[in-house]
Amino acid sequence: MNALKHVDNHMDVLITDLQKLIQQPSVSAKNEGIEECAKLVKSLLESSGLKSEILRLKKGVAPIVFAEIKSKSNPHKTLMFYNHYDVQPAEPFDLWNDPPFSGIRKGNKIFGRGSTDDKGELITRIKAVEACLATTGDVPCNIKFLIEGEEETGSTHIEEYLKKYKKKFSNDGVIWEFGYVDAKNRPIIGLGMKGLLYVELSVKESIRDAHSSLAVLIKNPAWRLIEAVNTLRNSDGKILIKDWYKEVSPLSKNDLKIIQKEPFDENVFKKEFGIKSFVGNKRGLNAKKALVGEATCNIAGFVSGYTGDGAKTVLPGSALVKIDFRLIPNMDPKKQVIRLKNHLKSKGFSEVKIKIYHGEAAARTNSSNPFVSQVKSAADQIFGNSILNVSNAGTGPMYSFVDILKSPCVSIGSTYMFSRIHSPNEFARIDLLKKTTKCICLIMENFGKN
């Protein structure tokens, strides 16, 4: 396939364009550089031969960059690439070895916020289409790009976008915005994502902080909140809220077969994070099943009183905790919120205020879908071997695509599993960028043929 040679011969352009993307900050949490980055992405798409446009909902909502090109040889099949151009905040800046938006190259790595998540992944899709057009003047199937600017803040408006532009976004399959590559350079082909419910619980006891000697009279809201949070799950990670798992179905036999085949090096994983054991002392198959199919209740942050250097004998007036629940298929975020509220009330914590930030249902593509084998065949050819994964442990708006567009979604990409995404010194590996770009070329060809 001439497109693969074109990728080999034009990696310098891919690297330069990725560096341009990294050098343009696009932090959705701060609304920093969003408009500028959307315009840059549109420009890169057009220079690669795709007709593109910027779609909007209303003022203050990050725009979507949309692009498409119709196939002359196969105009009856449409493959969509879903990506995002926004990135996580770069803080803490002092932990970066180089400026976070430098896009600096060091050997086989390109460093910078968004180098993998998700600008590195996006560039592999764009350059794969460019390679096909440059070598054949055509693409193996119709291609569409949907590139949003709010993924890192929960894709708040993606459902609204999908409904408004449903006809424009219609497709026969979606290549998701990322895909992991494991420690042995094998791509993990993801068939689903967990859902998410993100909440803030807070307790206010007094109008101001007080001297800690008054703790004999004034209730400490931090203790109260700790007591409330402690009722949510046990030490093994099981969530104790009534009916939390009511609608959940067990993993299918086929899912279990795939999970059993998935390689997972516990020692490498533990070494990478500097830990000695897993929650509930899970091992082997149970650890793998947990990543794929267990719900979580995680404390993302707890704030109360004085947390600076040294000692300050203070009795805080308020306390808050941020919690994210990972949801599994058939868990409805709206129902789970009601169950959480009922739980706290029934346990005597009616004074705990609940703020809902985000809710997203889980989604999975059936492993027997032909789209899955088309992607795996391409990955095996380029990488030598690939691994099917029933569901990623993380969350994205996949359910909205499945529910509204009726699209099967598959994750495949270049993100090395220890590439420090969402952390200082995030990097992309150039060798994996090249392989993934080639893999996308073959996926388009396989998809068009079938």
Q: What is the reported pLDDT for 265?
A: 87
Give 318's pLDDT tier (boundaries 50, 70, 90).
Answer: very high
Interval 161-180: pLDDT, tens: 999 999 999 999 999 999 99
Q: What is the reported pLDDT for 324?
A: 96
Question: Is the pLDDT confidence value at 360 over 80?
Answer: yes
For the chain, residues classed under CATH 3.40.630.10 are 2-191+365-449
Q: What is the reported pLDDT for 263?
A: 87
CA atoms within 13 A on the CB side of 121: 29
Omega within 30 of 0 (cis) for the link into 92? yes
How big is the CA angle at 328 (ends 327 and 330), to the nearest 5 degrees?
105
Interval 65-83: pLDDT, tens: 999 999 999 999 999 999 9
CATH architecture label of 194-248+295-359: 2-Layer Sandwich (3.30)
Average pLDDT over residues 292-307: 96
Give 272's pLDDT tier (boundaries 50, 70, 90).
Answer: confident
For the chain, residues classed under CATH 3.30.70.360 are 194-248+295-359
Q: How many residues does the chain have?
A: 450
Q: What is the reported pLDDT for 154?
A: 85
Give 447's pLDDT tier (boundaries 50, 70, 90).
Answer: very high
Q: Which residue has the tokens 């708040």?
A: 156
The mean pLDDT value of the chain amounts to 96
Q: What is the reported pLDDT for 431?
A: 98
Question: Is the pLDDT confidence value at 450 over 80?
Answer: no
Q: What is the dihedral of CA 303, 309, 310, 311, to 10 degrees?
A: -20
Write down the pTM of the prediction. 0.86
Six token digits for residue 341: 């509220």
Q: What is the reported pLDDT for 275?
A: 96
**Least confident residue range of 33-37, 256-260, 264-268:** 264-268
Six token digits for residue 410: 């598959």
Average pLDDT over residues 371-394: 96
Give 358's pLDDT tier (boundaries 50, 70, 90).
Answer: confident
CATH fold of 2-191+365-449: Aminopeptidase (3.40.630)
Q: What is the reported pLDDT for 286?
A: 95
Q: State what percent of residues in the chain have pLDDT above 90.
A: 94
DSSP 3-state of 308: coil
**Least confident residue range of 5-14, 43-52, 266-275:** 266-275
Q: What is the Cα 82 distance to its own chain's centre?
A: 12
Give 268's pLDDT tier (boundaries 50, 70, 90).
Answer: confident
Q: What is the reported pLDDT for 299?
A: 97
DSSP 3-state of 254: helix
Interval 400-409: pLDDT, tens: 999 999 999 9
Q: What is the reported pLDDT for 135?
A: 97
Question: Is the pLDDT confidence value at 183 over 90?
Answer: no
- Mapped to the 3 state alphabet, what secondary structure does 196-226 carry? EEEEEEEEECCCCCEEHHHHHCCCCHHHHHH
Q: What is the reported pLDDT for 20?
A: 98
